Structures are given as C-alpha cells and as structure tokens.
Structure 1
C-alpha cells in the first residue's frame, strides 16, 4: 500500500493543548521502536493507545504507520477540549489585555487579580480548566473549578501566543472512550496488535485526569493481566511497575513469561532543581 492511498495526520512533537504526562520527551524512542518492529507503513497492524491522554502517541503512530489501524482511547475527553481551541485562544487574548504590562511568573497582586477574575467571569464561551490552570497557577497546580481557581494564588504565566490549529491532529485515528477492562478483551487474541500503555501512576494525585482517583493498586493489577507482547509500557520511578516486575520474575514465572524479558529505555526528568526522577519506556515485541 502506497502513501498516496492512506490518510495520516501531520507529525506533532507535543500535544496542542496542555496535558499532564504527555510523552513528548519519549517520542524519538517511541518512533524508533515502531520503525524497528512494525514494517513499512504498518499494513495489517492495529495499535491501541490504551490510556490515550492527549493523543500524542496516537498522532505519532498514525503518521509513522499510516496503514495501521490506530485506536486512541480518549478516556480523558481530550477531543472535546480540542473542539474549543478557538474559545481558549479568545480568552487568552482578553487576559493579555489585562496582563500585558504585568511581570511574568509573578504573583498577581490585589489590584490586578480582581481584573483577571472579572475577565473570566464575563467570558462568553467554553472555559478549559486545564488550560486556565497552566496560565494562572503555579507550575504543576490544577484547579478543577472556577471557584477553586479564584480562591488560589494566581500568577502571570499566560501563554504568549495562540494555540495552533488542530484540524488534522487525529486524522485517520479511530477515537473510542472505554475503560481499559472493556476495551482490551476485544483485542486479546488478535494478531499484530500492539498495546501501548501509559496509565496514571498508582495511588498518586490524579486530579488533572478526567477520572479522578479511578486508578489504584487493584486497577493496576487488573491491567497487568491484559499485558502481553507486543506492548509498550510507559512508567516512572514514581510508580511501582519495575518493583512489580522484579517480584513477578522471582515469584510468578507464568506471568513473567508473558510480561518479562522486556527492553527498557530511561530518561531523567527534573521537577525542579532539587528533585528529579526517571521515566521509563518498557517494551517487548516477541
């Protein structure tokens, strides 16, 4: 099948809208692994982005392997957010009018904070709380409601430019919205099906995800029952996956035969100058 017969999105290097945990620093490694293990344009293959998040991995997979069936499980309703990019850009411009002369990265004082809140209250359009949080809250903070935002310390971290157009971000990608334990059984025995996992970290704060608090230890253990090659699994030293795999290797050879003998790529990530951790991409194709 030639490229002229397939439809693919333009390749993106980061998600068009903010999303906690997007894997943009792993994209080079992700692309390399796909090219090494899925031949040509991916005809005959299915790639399932089980915890789709921002859809960035789905975008890259479909661009690189355009003949493959790529399924983006939009469990966090990212596609709904994409529909309102124009509103977010319009709100940004209105906030810029208020904050244009205010120092960046600085706490809003008592004279300017009410003006910012007034702009938001009068805005006629969709308000994306995740976008607004990245613009007005300290790094890493997230407000789930406007009342929570208004009660917080606000900062001028407003984006300098509009968000880009997103018309073809998921071109050719099949979008679904299902829990992993209803999605994965549909493809359990299907050949040439790559499972891509990027689940929330177990027992960590998940307020920035649509399904707050839904992924705990029991959910993690249920998920691991569905993991089988070929798979790519993203994790971190902040999660339990490597400790779990060490335990399985020692105590559960049957499970180890299914999920073990993997390869690993690690990247160092810094939260701030005093805190860092490692992100991991674990994968197995045979």
Structure 2
C-alpha cells in the first residue's frame, strides 16, 4: 500500500506552507538525500513531513513546539464533536450567522464535550464556526465570538502524517546548538511572521526575536520563510550594504506567493533557500 503524501496540513494551522510545497520539493533536489533536516519552528509539521517523504533515508527533526501532535491525537474526538454540531445546524443556511436557540445549543454541545474529554481543539473548531482566518483558543473567547455555519462536512484524517519523524519540543536555540556543527544539516526555518496575526502561537514575537533567528543562517544550508510584511529582507540588505556585517540572504534563491487573508486583505509569502 502506498504511503499518503500530504500537500497540506491535516488540521488547520495558520501559516502552514502548503502554497510552497511544490517549490520546496523542487528545491530539495539540490540537497542531500541522506542529510539531516531540522525543522526549527515545526508548526504544523508540513515541511518536515514533505522532507521525509521526499528523502525517506534522511533524518528529519520536527520541533513540535506548538504541540500539534496533541491536536492530531484528538482527531477522533474532534470528528465526533463536529458530527454533533452538523446535526444541530443541519437546517441552518450555509455561511450564515448562527443565532438564537441554535447558537445556545451549539455552545452547550461544545461545553459538554470539553467537560467530558477535558480538551477541545478550538483552532480546528474555529475553522468550522468562525469567519475566515479567525481563531479562538478557549471556550470563553468562543462565547464572545460571532458564529457562522461554515462547518466542515467530512472527517479529518492524519494517518501516517508524522511517520518517520524525530519529534522534539525544544526552544529553537537549544535545537540549533545540537545540530549546528553537522556538515549534513539543512535548517528549515519558518518563525512566526513579524507584524502578522499570531494568536495561535505560544509566544509573542518581536523584532529582537526575529533578528536573533538570522544568526542560524550564517554558514549553513537553509530554507527560510518570511513575508513582505516583516521587511526583514530589506533590513538585511541594508545591513549588508551599510555595515561590515554580511547579509545572510546574499546569493539565496527567492520565491514569492500571494496569500489572501480575506476578500480585502492579502500579503506576499516568501521562501529563500541557500
């Protein structure tokens, strides 16, 4: 039986790199099949999954700092909850605001589920009940939100998604120290974007954090992801031109894709590799 290859993360995750997957695969041909690929900011694990599927003999380290595994392990319970919600809003118009008794019943069902399992994957649930690209992390914030009938009609599945990965949960600096001296290492670097929504991330990132990450690039092979909102590329070009410090992105290949947040907001995602 052939292994399932995921071109998108099996559960919703803000900032997953699905639009770059084809370009990422194409670029991987220039990197060692038996290399060590370290996904410093693992996120949804999509980059790590793709690297492992592309090079089965490579060592691929997935830094699951956001505990995406917990959400994957809870998929059976999440599917069960979504089935109950589908029944509650089966007569409700698609994409319309949920109000009145139906809204109360939806919230009650979610609270009962949380009381029973002591957990609800609110990020996944948000994609079925909130306006596009809006997320909550707890019941209290969900109660304050406007609910919509945008519920997913099929079950979530993630069979084999994390197979073969070396999974850790570490500060990226600690993980970098473990592998920085290996001549076979390729770092996958997708930090939380500066000046973009980061409600689903554990920690708030500021400019200092962003600049600290750049020290990882020097002297190493890497894939680095950012957006045009961060202006980090322009900053590094300025540093390289105006000071004696080397621009870490000098001679790197750059690819761009446009990403829509909603009907009137968008930005450009950027992948650089070297």
Which TM class, normalised by the smaller chain length?
over 0.9
1:148-159 alignment runs, 5 A limit: 148-159=141-152
Matched residue count: 269
Q: Following superposition, which runs of at least 4 residues in structure 1 exceed 6 angstroms of deviation?
A: none
Partner of 1:251: 242
2:252 aligns with: 262
Segment of structure 1 superposing worse, 268-277 or 136-145: 268-277
For residues 252 and 46 of structure 1, do their structure 2 counterparts lie closer, same or farther at Cα, with a shift above 3 Å needed?
Answer: farther
If the length of structure 2 is used for normalisation, what is the TM-score? 0.93
Task: Specify whether residues 99 and 199 from structure 1 end up closer, same or farther in structure 2 by C-alpha distance, changes over 3 A only.
Answer: same
Q: For residue 91 of structure 2, give the secondary structure of its aligned residue in structure 1.
A: coil
Moved more, 80-89 or 132-141: 132-141
For 2:244 and 2:42, the matched residues in 1 are separated by 30
Superposed, 1:222-233 pairs within 5 Å as 222-228=212-218, 229-233=220-224
**In structure 2, what is the Cα distance between the partners aligned to 1:208 and 1:115?**
26
Q: Is the 8 A contact 2:132 2:262 kept in 1?
A: no
Gaps of 5+ in 2: none
CA contact (8 A) 1:9 1:59 kept: no
Equivalent residue, structure 1, for 2:97: 107
Q: Mapping of 1:1-286 within 5 angstroms? A: 10-35=4-29, 37-39=30-32, 42-43=33-34, 45-123=35-113, 124-125=116-117, 126-164=119-157, 166-209=158-201, 211-213=202-204, 215-228=205-218, 229-256=220-247, 258-284=248-274
Counterpart contact for 1:15–1:54, Cα < 8 Å = yes
Q: Cα deviation per residue 1:37-84 (whole Å; 9 max; x = unaligned)?
A: 124xx12x1001111100011111000011110000001100111111
Paired position in structure 2 for 1:4: none
The residue that corresponds to 1:3 in the other structure is none
TM-score in terms of structure 1 length: 0.89
Contact 1:9-1:170 at 8 Å conserved across structures: no
Q: Indicate if the aligned counterparts of 1:11 and 1:63 stay in contact, CA closer than 8 A.
A: yes
Could you report, residue by residue, the CA deviation over 1:236-274 in whole angstroms, capped at 9, with x for unpaired residues? 112122122221221244422x44211101112222333
